[in-house]
Structure 1
């Protein structure tokens, strides 16, 4: 066998080049992270104090179904906390001091048609036991089994004057009332929307909120249709906000896009966490009956909102915002100035400022003239913004991790793979 032909063996150049590329990729990624952390604005520290703020925490971990909790903030300290549950959602303080909350929890044995163990969703009544010093205690639970933890939760519950509980159910896509264990009334979304054969097998509409806005009149958030509907008990849907194309029963995603937790401010105004447009928006009904943007805000404390899922117009006229993927609760005034903020330990779903909580009716920022007040600007980078949501939902990156970091991560990953490929090829050639 003669000597190898020129180029058949590697003299080390290929491996060195590959190593340089790998190091460059890792260095680029590390530099981007260090720069992001160093240049990040101060978030979650505005304001000296605030009266009690009640928080329902979705949790953390992949899919956000770990370490869910309900807790009360006394200023910046957690006065009490009820945890040990996969996820909690909407929270309401009742007149007797107890707290009502939607929840999701795995590990149940009573599973109906599903394999055991399974997940249950529903609502709980929690006694904080603030005076006794004892741990918070679950005093009542209404729940039912679901096929999957994902996109099947009860996100909201309201206590009616009748003593019934009004519940959202995104597993079967309905709202219903229950007294004890008996369902006393329900509205099925299939009365308005074209239903799949089995709603429990797909994230069809994702009904995530219901509020009482009048006698037997309920404001319902139909997330995946980008719509709010008013359901009258005994009549069905009597009004649609963001009707869009009536033929498709889907709203205009530039007006609302997979929203959460609307607050009815009055007959001509509604405040909405416009989640996938990453803004808080107040919609105003014009003389022609059309709903348009009267006020919108995209950022606070110099940081754009990232999947905000609650906004409450407070008694003082400010707006309390739950900015989920940035893991913060922030209060802003009409001009967008931050007056109070708090970094939450996990991803929050909803927050209420006590004692009033979320009210029906409130101060409107609309001027009645059809003008729009915009604070900040949107940030929707094709592909990168979508990937950012996936990353932040999976690993809960810090608030300063933006689309820029997603792009740098992709470039760095490609560089590392190219470099490793060069090293492997060089080693293979060297062995010939």
Structure 2
């Protein structure tokens, strides 16, 4: 006669239940990916049949986005030439002689003082495309300096002035400066306005990421972490603040209102008290207009293109034809939209783009303003789900998830993970009891 082992049936049931729960979690997650991919809209394929030339600065890919950076020229939808072999490239400008000026960051340098070798250096390069030659694009000159860390210390933008100087942004020391023949000729330090830490090189303090020339000796500067744009005049310092805010009694160190701008990139001065901005962490493109009281308000906002919400857009240029060229970084695409938000052209990029310029004009000072003063216009709607949106950005920058992977997929992933862990725990307890 067979004897029964007390609890054996219960332990086996627990193991089976645990295994089924874990399997259900895996199936749920895989199913969400399959459905998401199947229902994803067609992105990066729009065209009106017109051939365009677009210069792209590619941040790169991989964890932290600092791998496989490049500069390339799109002729229509084909890459005409490409310069790579660099950790990251950022803002790009086509010079009148056909060469390209680009902010960059790269590692492996041995000239590192005051830091240890090898190190990362950042600055700008002049690239000769040599289009059609066997040699391909060549770096013909470089201005760079060592940084403490490759993260949040880069030179993101450089402009060439009529004087022959180069105007440079610098996150390492949080300043803008001009350089000529390798020597700094002028600088504005953010510590003149903002309360500085003891050592700006040890923290991502302000993240100054863009500078544009408005007029002679007047520059529009993006102070990302303060959610502000400031106009700096040589010899005067800050003469105007866009999104000044009142956070600290109106003191110079107060941050701007993050509902107006939140960690923005690459503003463009349109003129007549209007500026176009990639409002990056609000996932939208905005036009800000100065009212009669001197305050800046959102007059036009665009949250989406091709049926897909923007995801960390970092550049927006108002083109001579009146359209807007948007670099939608984490969705890995460049889109051209008209005033109504309709997409007339788009391109899916191989890596995460930082900035794009439509040739031959490039980014200009001045342009058509969509805002007509008759009230704000909003196209699309934003998405900001507490916790889930933050986790989504972490996954996108670390794992390069596809554009259709959204907050719902993050929620399903968390539920699936809970099922797998819960099932594994149940099965293990059942086995131990058996």
Task: Flag whether TM exceeds 0.5 (same fold).
Answer: yes
Aligned to 1:388, what secondary structure does the other structure show? Answer: helix
Q: Which runs of 5+ in 2 are unaligned?
A: none
Residue 402 in structure 1 maps to residue 406 in structure 2:
yes
Q: Name 1:94's counterpart in structure 2.
A: 95
Q: Using the alignment, how far apart are the partners of 2:245 and 2:158 within structure 1?
A: 28
Asked if structure 2 preserves the Cα contact closer than 8 Å seen for 1:9 and 1:429, the reply is no
TM-superposition CA deviations, 1:375-423 (whole Å, max 9, x none): 0001111111111111000011100000000111111111101111111
- Aligned: 1:183 with 2:184: yes
Contact persistence 2:283–2:303 (CA under 8 A):
yes
CA–CA separation in structure 2 for the residues paired with 1:231 and 1:44: 37
Distance (whole Å) between structure 1 residues aligned to residue 341 and residue 5 of structure 2:
71
2:142 is aligned with 1:138: no
Residue of structure 1 equivalent to 2:194:
193
Deviates more, 1:419-428 or 1:7-16: 7-16
Counterpart check, 1:413 vs 2:417: yes
Counterpart for residue 129 of structure 2? 128
Counterparts of 2:300 and 2:276 in 1: how far apart (Å)? 9
- How far, CA to CA, are the matches of 2:383 and 2:7 in structure 1? 50
What's the CA shift for 1:6?
3.9
Q: Greater shift after overlay, 241-250 or 98-107?
A: 241-250
Which among 378, 383, 388 is matched to residue 384 of structure 1?
Answer: 388
Deviation at 1:238, TM superposition (A): 0.2
Shift of 1:134: 2.5
**Is residue 2:432 matched to residue 1:428?**
yes
> Which secondary structure does the structure 1 equivalent of 2:410 belong to?
helix
Q: Is the 8 A contact 1:10 1:427 kept in 2?
A: no
Q: Are residues 9 and 114 of structure 1, via their aligned partners in 2, closer, same or farther at CA, if it must alter by over 3 Å?
A: farther
Equivalent residue for 2:236? Answer: 235
CA shift at 1:325, angstroms? 0.1
Please show how residues 298-309 of structure 1 align to structure 2 within 5 Å.
298-309=303-314
Question: What's 1:290 paired with?
Answer: 295
**Contact persistence 2:11–2:433 (CA under 8 A):** no
1:20 matched residue in structure 2: 20
Q: Does the 8 Å CA contact 1:228/1:241 hold for their aligned counterparts? A: yes
SS at match of 1:398: coil
Specify the SS of the correspondent of 1:224: helix
Q: Quick check: 1:170–1:205 contact (8 Å CA) kept in 2?
A: yes
- 3-state secondary structure, aligned to 1:15: helix
User: How far, CA to CA, are the matches of 2:433 and 2:349 in structure 1?
Assistant: 54
The equivalent of 1:32 in structure 2 is 32
Does residue 258 of structure 1 match 2:259?
A: no
Structure 1 equivalent of residue 338 of structure 2: 333
Unaligned runs of 5+ in 1: none
Shift of 1:84: 0.4
Identify the residue that residue 279 of structure 2 maps to in structure 1: 274
Q: Which residue of 2 aligns with 1:349?
A: 354
Provide, for residues 209-234 of structure 1, a one-character-per-residue CA deviation record: whole Å limited to 9, x for no partner: 00000110000000000000000001
Cα pair 1:55 1:72 within 8 Å, conserved: yes
Output the TM-score relative to the length of structure 2.
0.97
Question: 1:368 Cα shift?
Answer: 2.5
Secondary structure at the counterpart of residue 411 of structure 2: helix
CA separation of 1:237/1:4 partners in 2, compared to 1, >3 Å: closer, same or farther? farther
The separation in 2 between residues aligned to 1:198 and 1:6, in whole angstroms, is 68
1:75-119: CA deviations, max 9, x gaps? 110000000000000000000000000000011001111111010
Q: Provide the rounded CA distance (Å) in 1 between the counterparts of 2:428 and 2:149.
A: 43
Whether the 8 Å CA contact 2:276–2:288 is kept in 1: the answer is: yes
Instruction: Report the Cα distance in structure 2 between the residues aligned to 1:421 and 1:115, rounded to whole angstroms.
Output: 47
Partner Cα separation in structure 1 for residue 421 and residue 11 of structure 2: 21
The normalised TM-score by structure 1 is 0.97
Task: State which drifts further: 130-139 or 116-125.
Answer: 130-139
- Alignment size in residue pairs: 427
Are the aligned partners of 1:86 and 1:105 in contact in 2 as well (CA < 8 Å)?
yes
Matches of 1:20 and 1:49 in 2, distance apart?
A: 55
Check conservation: 2:11, 2:431, Cα contact below 8 A: no
Aligned to 1:196, what secondary structure does the other structure show?
coil
Q: Residue 72 of structure 1 corresponds to which residue in structure 2?
A: 73
Of residues 6-15 and 312-321 in structure 1, the stretch that sits farther from structure 2 once superposed is 6-15
1:12 counterpart SS class? helix
CA displacement at 1:138 relative to structure 2? 0.1
Contact 2:268 2:364 in 1 (8 A): yes
Distance across 2 between alignment mates of 1:391 and 1:363: 37
Q: Measure how far apart 1:264 and its partner are.
A: 0.2
Shift of 1:291: 0.7
Q: Corresponding residue for 2:372?
A: 367
For 1:4 and 1:358, the matched residues in 2 are separated by 81
Displacement after TM superposition at 1:427 (Å): 1.3
Deviation of 1:267 after TM superposition, in Å, equals: 3.4
